Amino acid sequence: MTLRAILACALTPANRPEEEGAVPIKQDIERQGHSISELYIDRAYVNSPVVDEVRQDGGEVFSKPWAQRARSPELFSKLDFKLDLRANTITCPAGEVEYFELGQTVEFEPEACGACPLRAKCTQAASGRGRTVSISQDEAQQKQFRKLQQTPAGRAILRQRVPVEHALAHIAARKGDHARYIGVRKNLFDLRRTAAIQNLEAIHHSSKLELAKLELAA
């Protein structure tokens, strides 16, 4: 059985992006003499500079992609549009092409959308407006994540994050829904204390399993 231990924790104020917690976690891990070769992250951390640093060092990054489905299941989703990231073009199911820049929301020509026979399946925009599609700043990375999710091997890789989610759930159950103290420093100490307890519990559970194996072998 593989023992999974929590090596570092970070805490950010509620009004700050979650991704800001990734840098101090990485720094804390490196101070312990470790490095990150594989990064399994939640989507909220995809834009952290840690992602680029891990890749530059030859590591791999795994995450679920952002959802691409339309608000209505009856409409075409972003997945039905063809994205060419080299030419920076997007082609709709009817063949209309628009150029885009990363981080931009593309609007197809209202005239073309208005006369399109597929309009009812594509958009519920008001008359005189075309279908819009948002292009992420990290669209190339999201495309890689989507490809990973579409294969059995890729989904198996993503499932390796499940034990991490279980550990986080145990910590949340111990700490409750609210911070116990005023200020980041005290609450970070409380989080690290809870993580240490979780590690001790994992070690205890692992030891019991190993003992049970020895008894069966005997």
Inside any domain, residue 2: no
| Distance, CA of 117 to CA of 119 (rounded, Å) | 6
Task: Give the per-residue pLDDT at 35.
Answer: 93
Inside any domain, residue 12: no
Inside any domain, residue 3: no
| 208 and 113 assigned to the same domain | no
Task: Give the per-residue pLDDT at 64.
Answer: 86
Task: Give the per-residue pLDDT at 150.
Answer: 85
Mean pLDDT, rounded, of the chain: 88
Task: Give the per-residue pLDDT at 202.
Answer: 87
Q: Does residue 73 surpass a pLDDT of 90?
A: no
User: What is the mean pLDDT of the segment spanning 91-118?
Assistant: 94
Q: Where are the alpha helices (DSSP H) in 13-70?
A: 22-31, 49-56
| 205 and 154 assigned to the same domain | yes
pLDDT band at 58 (very low <50, low <70, confident <90, very high): very high
Inside any domain, residue 142: no
| Distance, CA of 58 to CA of 102 (rounded, Å) | 25
Task: Give the per-residue pLDDT at 215.
Answer: 58
pTM over cut 0.95 = no
Task: Give the per-residue pLDDT at 209.
Answer: 66
Q: Does residue 104 surpass a pLDDT of 80?
A: yes
| 32 and 55 assigned to the same domain | yes
| 155 and 195 assigned to the same domain | yes
Task: Give the per-residue pLDDT at 184.
Answer: 93
C-alpha dist (Å) from residue 218 to 149, 205, 206, 210, 214: 43, 20, 19, 12, 6
| 107 and 153 assigned to the same domain | no
Identify the domain boundary among 135, 163, 178: 135
- Token digits of residue 9: 């924790």
| 95 and 130 assigned to the same domain | yes
| 57 and 86 assigned to the same domain | no
Domain tally, the chain: 2
Task: Give the per-residue pLDDT at 120.
Answer: 92
Inside any domain, residue 13: no
Inside any domain, residue 73: no
Task: Give the per-residue pLDDT at 1.
Answer: 57
Q: Does residue 44 surpass a pLDDT of 70?
A: yes
| 162 and 208 assigned to the same domain | yes
Inside any domain, residue 140: no
Task: Give the per-residue pLDDT at 29.
Answer: 95
| 123 and 33 assigned to the same domain | no
Inside any domain, residue 205: yes
Task: Give the per-residue pLDDT at 11.
Answer: 92
Task: Give the per-residue pLDDT at 106.
Answer: 94
**Domain containing residue 87:** 78-135
Q: What is the DSSP-derived secondary structure letter of residue 173?
A: H
Identify the domain boundary among 135, 160, 181: 135
| 115 and 59 assigned to the same domain | no
| 208 and 114 assigned to the same domain | no
* 178 compared with 108, residue with greater pLDDT: 108
Share of the chain above pLDDT 90, in %: 55
